[in-house]
Structure 1
């Protein structure tokens, strides 16, 4: 079973993906590990798109079953045909932004408030993430629409595999149960 989980930043993709991996024994791959080069501070250097896609294809090809978490809607058309099941997470804007703020503080601590550069990165990230629901997020480099609900909805229309949408502020257990019950029908 090849499962792709995606949604807005802060929707719980990684948390759910890791929980599902633990339950199924499938390896979990996070799109951020392929999109970003390792750096300090993290998430500041983008990997070349061709290299990114080749690395991800290689990792996925080495496994019979897997879970891929993260938005890859603008990574080309070669990935969707691989998915047996695609899961879209949609949670309320205010819940998601509160989660992101908490996550960023837990990851990095006070530096996101005390260091001028890190504070700007933090503020820019929250502004970027906030634009998801009202479709105002711009792609990196300003090359058009970024990761938005509208972009995700358009991409969903192109999928030709099993699809689940989990909406609302549900628990990880509820999401996990929903997916596991759906997998039984494959």
Structure 2
């Protein structure tokens, strides 16, 4: 049984590693954003309330024997904590993380986030928010608040520098899972 959370700052690669790990383990992958936000256009504008998020997670995957979840349920998803078997924490140099984030958003939204695009202001706000992650005085989700949250988890934690490519990271996680008897 493996119920794995992959967490880190925006742009660190949690979604990429989560999808690849779920595929390698022949299990399903879920993204916290799909539970946190209602599907809208423009995206990421309407939050679900906490009870709705948790209820949706309960219906979709939490009772299953194995799954991979990418993203941060910190601050609202405490129902996930007792279900976790393992957590992978990805870190990445701030400049590289923001570069990856901007590249990802450009690939997703193209001209919509360019100056004059309908998502330009939201994109700038998102990048500014994401850049605050490494500032220990940042009052929203930050590396410091994630580190504090991770320190309270009752399951094994693997810390990885996400500067390596996926082909290098995936076997590190798989080997760790094998050593901790979490692989399904």
- Structure 2 length-normalised TM: 0.92
Match runs of 1:112-123 below 5 Å: 112-115=113-116, 117-123=118-124
1:168 CA drift (Å): 4.7
- Asked if 1:88 corresponds to 2:89, the answer is yes
Partner of 1:45: 46
**Structure 2 segments unaligned to the other structure (5+ residues):** none
Partner of 2:147: 153
1:6 CA drift (Å): 0.5
- Asked if 1:55 corresponds to 2:51, the answer is no
Question: How many residues of Structure 1 are paired with residues of Structure 2 in the alignment?
Answer: 179
What CA distance in whole angstroms lies between the structure 2 residues aligned with 1:117 and 1:90? 31
**Structure 1 segments unaligned to the other structure (5+ residues):** 138-144
RMSD of Structure 2 on Structure 1 (CA): 1.4
**Paired residues of 2:12 and 2:162 also in contact (CA < 8 A):** no
Partner of 2:30: 29
1:22 CA drift (Å): 1.1
Partner of 1:5: 6
What CA distance in whole angstroms lies between the structure 1 residues aligned with 2:58 and 2:26? 20
Deviates more, 1:105-114 or 1:145-154: 105-114
What CA distance in whole angstroms lies between the structure 1 residues aligned with 2:34 and 2:79? 18
SS at match of 1:132: helix
